[in-house]
Structure 1
Amino acid sequence: MENEAHSMSSDIGIGVNEKMVEALESSDNIPLLLTNSSSLKRTGTVWTAVAHIVTGVIGSGVLSLPWSTAQLGWFAGPLSIILIASITLFSSFLLCNTYRHPHPEHGPNRSASYLDVVHLHLGISNGRLSGLLVNISLYGFAIAFVITTAISLRTIQHSFCYHNKGSEASCEFADAYYMLLFGVIQIILSQIPNFHNIEWLSVVAAIMSFTYSFIGMGLSIAQIIEKGHTEGSIGGISTSSGTEKLWLVSQALGDISFSFPFSTIIMEIQDTLKSPPPENQTMKKASVIAVTVTTFMYLSCGGAGYAAFGDNTPGNLLTGFESSYWLVSFANVCIVVHLVGSYQVYCQPLFATVESWFRFNFPDSEFMNHTYILKLPLLPAFELNFLSLSFRTAYVASTVVIAMVFPYFNQILGVLGSMIFWPLTIYFPVEIYLNQSSTVPWTTKWVLLRTFSIFGFVFGLFTLTGCIKGIVAQKIG
């Protein structure tokens, strides 16, 4: 019964407490949610999982990788991408194996969220901490998606304005309108019931991510051919001092490490997979395919961009091409469509956590629990729940408002990403694996995993320092 309580309570989210656990342990209705979860029809395959991962991982940040490669040089740049990809893949393997856990009475249970598996294996305190970090991360990404979408839409508008009116024309457009438009679209899409119903959106978004990455890569290769030679060096961009170089390297490593952010949603993705074959086998295969494809895209895009621009590599690859404005504008359209899907991939897990918490605490509330079936003319029937409608609308509105008030949030996101990289990508997966496998302390496996965790902590601290230094330098400058 204790395991049931842990599984049940952790699925509720960060608001779980000891009283809830005690109530669950003494309740005769504990298997209710487990039964509902088990009866949920799972149709996901290795390819839908790949689409979810690619949608969550390959974001517009891929366009900043040429700049990162330029800071690190031809040797350290590609090596860093491969190393961080390997860390991400290893971490995903550790988490994949924790999805199912044996239960003596009800058969294998599922850990359908990151905080669920942390709470189950590491206790309620770690569950709260992981829940807090995961939800802050998801919320931060949502705000960043709003800002990045507005930037891409503004870039498209600028491109057409300058093309039609000349480079001297006044072409200033407020980002607020684009953010509001994005918010309206997300309010509608957020009414999709859960993560299991957005497979089509992830597939479309994944296609878009490949499209704009290939456009940036293709334009870079065309520029290299036009020049007749490649730019760049082994040591990367030279700086006035070793200290300045160190800070730029830390920022570059931070950008690369935050280009593989799917540990926070891996359990939700795995929970969409059908069985047989076992979900962990399918998820491992999907992770290998997705990370391999992603790494190839990152190496190609980062390398081509650095080879095309050398020391003048821009922070966003697409801003470096003054010609081919139609192609650049189309790439930005693809970015917008991709971010529409990414927003849902990162928000659906948070929706599930918060709404489950409310429904657990107010089981008799019709507002929280009753679902209405609506059928409008010419449209298929859809489900409407007032809790989901009100909370998700308020959530999207809050991300848009923060993005409008604080348009430089992307800079803070680097700091936030540095803070959560070690605990969510390395520490918790390692601790969960050690707990589940009952690894004996000071054995070879135990020492290697602890060393891996310590390395991740030092790496995260290094990139955090670089991100803070970069923000301070930019504000002073």
Structure 2
Amino acid sequence: MVNNNNQEPTEEELKKINDWLPITSNRNGKWWYSAFHNVTAMVGAGVLGLPYAMSQLGWGPGVTILVLSWIITLYTLWQMVEMHEMVPGKRFDRYHELGQHAFGEKRGLWIVVPQQLLVEVGVNIVYMVTGGKSLKKFADIAFPHHKPMKQSYFIMIFGSVHFVLSNLPSFNSITMVSVAAAVMSLSYSSAAWISSAIKGTQSDVVYNMRSASKAGSIFGFLSALGDVAFAYAGHNVVLEIQATIPSTPEQPSKKAMWKGCVIAYIVVALCYFPVALIGYWVFGDAVEDNILISLDKPAWLIAIANLFVVIHVIGSYQIYAIPVFDMIESWLVKEMKFTPSRILRFVTRISYVALTMLLAIIFPFFGGLLSFFGGFAFAPTTYYLPCIMWLTIYKPKRFGLSWFCNWACIIVGVALTILAPIGALREIIIQSKSYQFFS
């Protein structure tokens, strides 16, 4: 229903709208909510592609980039947590609100919103693909004699779950989904590297670059940079997660939020490094772009691990979808003057889930999508946009430690943004040559 009143909403009306919107409707989150939400947001499809990235980077560059990314993104995550309440009495509950404070009302929106939407919608598409592929792998192993089904059907089965879950109103309402997803992420990551370790190095394992040509090796290296960037993506929802935590002058939200972030990053290290290093050690340059596809024994463990992936990406999808729902619903209510209602929420969210599912069916290029979105969208919002905001707002002393650290992160992040999509587009083009739509 449309509200025909074209006047600006009053303070009381704005409060009612904020109480209805998914990001600001509930502020009773705990520090462990932060931990589970951040683990769910970060340890997703990206971890499964890390051995493949290692096979394109090689031992030395691969380990260096993995460790450097972990350090840089932990630092930029701390910056965002600190900036959430940098203005006394005000909270930047959304990434674009912080951008508006740093760059100006209009410019901040144009800088942040397109990048954040590209990340969140991109992740949802990739997770639709991941969920469908993992569900198909589980069915193929658990029911070897079943009639073969198209991958598209498995993506539709996975997507149907979100037609229900997407109607949960806010972050705190999906806490138990997020808890289950976080536990699953640790479980399937452990299953991946333990199964690889049990399998042991193959007799014909080779640690050369995957491509025989020099050009192919260079493009593969660039594509792998995007795979790594994709793995560190939680920053795109960190302010929205922090918005759910209560805050007082004595106990600001950043204390609880940072505690949860540290726990989350320890879990990230426990998942990422063993999977990446052991997966590459066992399979070398023959590893698939999803490590679980490379593993076929023991069958029961691989089947369960793929089921764990399905459960995890169900939660991850919702973590990234809620900020998108918030943007769409804010625009409909504040700009288009729709009246907040369950019907509006239902139609908006069902339409979004249907769109991401359709795009996942059309473009199921797992490896290429990881790298493209990782470089083109994730690197800016994760590696260097927080640093630019920090420099703009706090103006640290030139050539001081803070100034130097931020500029170093910016240089690394800009390089990722430029280089990774080049390799990814080549990979998508190569994969598309042998692909039939709606297969």
Give 1:336's match in structure 2, choosing from 306, 310, 316.
310
Q: Which structure ranks higher in relative contact order (CA pairs < 8 Å, sequence separation ≥ 6)?
A: 2
**Counterpart of 2:197?**
221
Change (3 A) 1:351 1:34: closer
Matches within 5 A, 1:82-97: 82-97=67-82
Which residues in structure 2 correspond to 1:22-421 (within 5 Å)?
A: 32=15, 36=19, 41-102=26-87, 108-123=89-104, 124-162=106-144, 164=145, 172-224=148-200, 236-237=208-209, 239-275=211-247, 277-361=251-335, 365=338, 368-370=339-341, 385-408=342-365, 411-412=368-369, 414-421=371-378
* 3-state SS, counterpart of residue 100 of structure 1: coil
The amino acid of 2:233's aligned partner reads P
Amino acid at match of 1:88: T
Q: What is the rounded CA distance, in whole Å, between the counterparts of 1:429 and 1:34 in structure 2?
A: 28
Cα 1:32–1:475 shift into 2, 3 Å: closer
Identity %: 26
- Residues 189-246 of structure 1 deviation map (CA, whole Å, 9 limit, x = unaligned): 1111111211111100011111111111111111128x7x99665xx53753443322
Q: Post-superposition shift, 1:23?
A: 5.1
The aligned amino acid for 1:308 is V
Deviations 1:167-193 (A, max 9, x none): xxxx53123332332232111111111
CA distance in 2, matches of 1:401, 1:328: 28
Q: Secondary structure at the match of 1:198?
A: helix
> Which residue is 1:15 aligned to?
none
Residue 136 (structure 1) shift: 2.2
Once the two structures are TM-superposed, the CA of residue 362 in structure 1 deviates from its matched residue by: 5.2
The answer (yes or no) to whether the contact 1:81–1:295 under 8 Å persists in 2 is no
| Aligned position for 2:425 | 468
Whether the aligned pair in 2 keeps the contact of 1:73 and 1:232 (CA below 8 Å) is no
**Secondary structure of 1:318's partner?**
helix
1:410–1:119 Cα change, 3 Å? farther
Cα offsets for 1:115-166 (capped at 9, x unmatched): 111112211222223112211221121122112211112112222443x48x
Give distance in 1, aligned partners of 2:16 and 2:226: 39
AA matched with 1:282:
A
The reply on whether 1:453 has 2:410 as its aligned counterpart is yes
CA distance in 2 between partners of 1:31 and 1:184 (Å): 34
For residue 4 of structure 1, what is the aligned residue in structure 2? none
Residues 150 and 421 of structure 1: CA distance in aligned 2, closer, same or farther (over 3 Å): closer
CA distance in 2, matches of 1:476, 1:390: 36
CA distance in 1, matches of 2:149, 2:210: 36
Offset of 1:277 from its aligned partner? 3.1
Aligned length: 424
Contact 2:99 2:111 (8 Å CA) reproduced: no
The offset of 1:390, in angstroms, is 1.0
Deviations 1:372-397 (CA, angstroms, capped at 9, x unpaired): xxxxxxxxxxxxx1110111111111
Contact in 1 for aligned 2:226/2:373 (Cα 8 Å): no
What pairs up with 1:418-429 in 2 under 5 angstroms? 418-429=375-386
TM-score by length of structure 2 reads 0.87
Q: Partner of 2:364: helix, strand, or coil?
A: coil
Which consecutive residues of structure 1, in runs of 5 or more, have no partner in the other structure? 1-19, 166-170, 371-384
The alpha carbon displacement at 1:343 in A equals 0.9
In structure 2, how many angstroms separate the alpha carbons of the residues matched to 1:161 and 1:39? Answer: 44
Greater Rg by CA: 1
Q: Which residue identity does 1:208 align to in structure 2?
A: M
In the alignment, is the contact (CA less than 8 A) between 1:82 and 1:295 conserved in 2?
no
Q: Which letter does structure 2 place at the counterpart of 1:293?
A: V
In structure 1, distance between residues paired with 2:204 and 2:29:
43
Task: Report how far residue 250 of structure 1 moved.
Answer: 1.7
SS at match of 1:193: coil
Report the CA distance shift for 1:320/1:416 in structure 2 as closer, same or farther (over 3 A): closer
Instruction: Give me the whole-angstrom Cα distance separating, in 1, the residues matched to 2:429 and 2:185.
Output: 31
> What residue identity is the alignment partner of 1:256?
V
Aligned alpha-carbon RMSD (Å):
2.9
Note the residue ranges of structure 2 that are not aligned, 5 or more in a row.
1-5, 435-439
Identify if the C-alpha distance between structure 1 residues 243 and 196 changes in structure 2 by more than 3 Å, giving closer, same or farther.
Answer: same
Tell me the alpha carbon deviations over residues 42-88 of structure 1, each in whole angstroms, 9 at most, x when there is no partner: 23222221111111111133122112222333332222111111111
In the aligned structure 2, how far is the partner of 1:429 from the partner of 1:358? 28
Deviation (angstroms), 1:328: 1.1
Report SS of the residue matched to 1:258.
helix
Tell me, in whole angstroms, the C-alpha distance in 1 between the residues paired with 2:316 and 2:139. 22
Question: Residue 180 and residue 118 in structure 1: after superposition, are their counterparts in 2 closer, same or farther (change >3 A)?
Answer: same
**Is the CA contact (8 Å cut-off) linking 2:55 and 2:210 kept in structure 1?**
no
